[in-house]
Amino acid sequence: MRSRRLLPSLLPRLPKPTDLSAQIHQRSNLSAQSCHDATESGAAADPARAVSLLAERSWFERINSEFAASLLQLGPRFVVRALQHAAAEPLLCVRLYVWASRFGQHFARDRAVRRALGDALWRRGPVVLSAALVAEVQGCGCVISEELLCALVESWGRLGLAHYAREVFVQMPRLGLWPSIMVYNAVIAASVRAGAVDSAYLLFQQMPADGCRPDCFTYNALVHGVCRRGIVDEALRLVKQMEGAGIRPNVFTYTMLVDGFCNAGRPEDAVGVLEKMKEKGVAPTEATYRTLVHGVFRSLGTDKAYRTLSKWIESHPAMHHRNAFDTLLYCLSKNNMANEAVELVHKMSSRGYLLGNATFGIVISCALKRLEFSHVCQLVDDFIEKGGKLGFDVYILMIKSLLSSKDISKVHEYLSQMVLHRLFSSVTSYNMVIDCLSKAGEMEMAMEIVKVMQESGFLPNLVTFNTLISGYSKLGNVHDAKAVLKMLTELGFMPDIITFTSLIDGLCHTHQLDDAFDCFSEMPKWGVRPNVQTYNVLIRAFCSAGHVNKAIHLLNKMKMDGISPDAYSFNAPILSFCRMRKIDKAHKLFTAMLRYGVAPDSYTYNTLIKALCDERRVDEAKEILLAMESSSCIAANQHTYWPVVGALTKMGHFNEAGEFMNKFHRRNAHLGSSAYLRAGSEILVQTVNV
């Protein structure tokens, strides 16, 4: 028997609860005047108030009178907050931007302001530059600025309205604006984003006529457009033209070339781009390596991509970068290539690379699905031995797997490490571990974690107690579940629906149905209303004990109490009637189920069809099967068809049985050949057995 105190050596290492009294004392030293000033500034900086003014008819005058004096002090951050509050109404965002732009370019061109405006125009747009909107802006003494026009054009591109963006571009002089490099770039980028690369080229060729010289952004937009289509030779021509114009390609240019080569099925040339970057003195970014690795997987397929990338990593020094390794591990793990991922981890380790927590967690998640658990444990232990720090999520994954394999000593070791490294940062983190232990039935260890939790300064909450009650109840240990309930009430918590349902479930598991019903009857006295899950626990228990009439009584009570039953509420009584060979009652209950608007599930249909076929009431079974087939939510399977086929065969109706077999094959033709043949053979074997 395990010792009741499983974690005795951990408590002295825990940090002491933070003493908040000194902090509170320091905060209380604020003077009354400073509090008054803070209240006034808070009122003036209320973005919700500003947004409400923007919705009024005389919005410009109202917001100007209340916020003009304080806007310069509040700065662009206030405009960003107001734009986020008004995001559901993009027209209000346009009004706010027009008003704020009057106070200087640092508002109009602030990146955070433009990002917030662009997100609102895209998510809730489009905002059309109508004559009414132009008149409204001009009526306030403002103008449609280049910055606002570019923001609108960008949103139109993201929404696929590049044609409209070009129409507005042509009519710019009517707004008092003339084409500039900034506007050209916005319209070209919008056209590329919307897939209209040919229109982007026309605008590009038109730029010199308007006195605009393409810059790096212009060329990058066009390179992005052709690379996305895999027309990489044209992208290379643009890069040469770019260099000939004295414009140096940047990391974005080269990253798009990498993507273009991969889209064109030329991954070898994509690696060559990295060598070119090294020659030109342009350092690849994390996005460059991600683009390359993902592109190679997309171009070559998983197995060939891994072999190719592994060879390149060995032979190309430019590929010796942490981001390349991390992205490759991510792709291998997401494609369930656990052996290859572990092999790469060992290669990285031999070269002195230590994985980060996030990447290692992705590898472990894949390895747990595909490899023997002992190999995974060895991988984790090696990682820790070399100085790696597991994240909380990885520990949770490992603990769940260890609990499944009943390796309790290893669970204790990992829990010790979690406490040592102070990974328990909140009640929620403790509750997650307690939940894992409770579901695995390790209630002694779960209670030890509660003790550690309390002694480290965290108080259990209602979720903690409900988890413990549920764990004890599933084990049938009602005595300890009641003890936790008593502890819960002594600490001032009120039991909720989860508390009662868990306790009732535990009483039902130990066949204490009278006590379970008494607990159910106590719920209203505590102000807790039973839900459908509570009723279902009792209905299932009564049916299992042979008290179907009591289950039906509860079902009727549920409906009278205004609680909508679900399929689980009806399935247990229907199954009980079928086992008792009271098919008419089961059928009547099935009809009532439909009348109350409860959709039967596959379990309901299969149970009733089998029972009818066992009684050779095949016509009624066929009617229910037809109703099941007409339901778009449930697909009939071999377990639905074979009782009908078997009954028809037993009755000598071989032709009709054959028709049903063919019907099943036709309905399952969408399955893969192996699944299709397996399902058909199962029906055939089961029919022969009948």
Q: Where are the domains positioned within the chain?
A: 47-143, 621-689
Looking at residues 631-636, what average pLDDT do you find?
63
Looking at residues 586-613, what average pLDDT do you find?
89
Give residue-wise pLDDT tens across range 147-188. Answer: 999 999 999 998 988 888 899 998 888 888 888 999 999 999
Are 214 and 245 within 8 A, CB to CB?
Answer: yes
Confidence (pLDDT) at 568: 92
Looking at residues 566-592, what average pLDDT do you find?
92
At 178 the three-state DSSP class reads: coil
Confidence (pLDDT) at 19: 37
Give residue-wise pLDDT tens across range 440-499. Answer: 999 999 999 999 999 889 999 999 999 999 999 989 898 999 999 999 888 899 999 999
pLDDT surpasses 80 at 633:
no
Confidence (pLDDT) at 224: 94
Confidence (pLDDT) at 670: 46
Percentage of the chain surpassing pLDDT 70? 88
In the chain, what is the straight-line distance between the N-terminal and C-terminal CA atoms, in Å? 50
Give residue-wise pLDDT tens across range 291-333. Answer: 999 999 998 888 899 888 888 877 766 566 778 888 899 999 9
- How far apart CA 297 and CA 474 sit, in angstroms, is 46
pLDDT level of residue 5 (50, 70, 90 thresholds): very low
At 569 the three-state DSSP class reads: helix
Confidence (pLDDT) at 575: 93
| Number of neighbouring beta carbons within 10 Å of residue 685 | 11
Looking at residues 521-545, what average pLDDT do you find?
92
Looking at residues 228-247, what average pLDDT do you find?
92
Give residue-wise pLDDT tens across range 103-157. Answer: 888 888 889 999 999 999 998 878 888 889 999 988 888 888 889 999 999 999 9
Give residue-wise pLDDT tens across range 249-262. Answer: 999 999 999 999 99
Q: What dihedral do alpha carbons 599, 602, 604, 605 form, nearest 10°?
A: 100
pLDDT surpasses 70 at 25:
no
Confidence (pLDDT) at 320: 64
- How far apart CA 319 and CA 301 sit, in angstroms, is 19
| List of residues 6+ apart from 264 with CB closer than 8 A | 230, 231, 232
Confidence (pLDDT) at 672: 44
Amino acid at 124: R
Give residue-wise pLDDT tens across range 65-92. Answer: 888 888 888 888 999 999 998 888 999 9
Mean pLDDT for the chain overall? 84
- How far apart CA 117 and CA 87 sit, in angstroms, is 8
- Letter string b/e over residues 189-226, b meaning 16 or more CB atoms within 10 A of that residue's CB: bbbbbbebbebbbebbeebeeeebebebbbbbbbbbbb
Supply the pTM of this predicted model: 0.68
Confidence (pLDDT) at 680: 44
Q: Judge if the upstream peptide bond of residue 126 is cis by omega within 30 degrees of 0.
A: yes
Are 448 and 36 within 8 A, CB to CB?
Answer: no
**Among 596, 496, 503, CA closest to 541:** 503
Cα dihedral sign for 448, 453, 459, 465?
A: negative
- Which H, E and C letters describe 527-542, residue by residue? CCCCCHHHHHHHHHHH
Which residue's structure tokens are 């050209």?
Answer: 184
Confidence (pLDDT) at 234: 93
pLDDT surpasses 90 at 236:
yes
pLDDT level of residue 585 (50, 70, 90 thresholds): very high
Confidence (pLDDT) at 22: 34
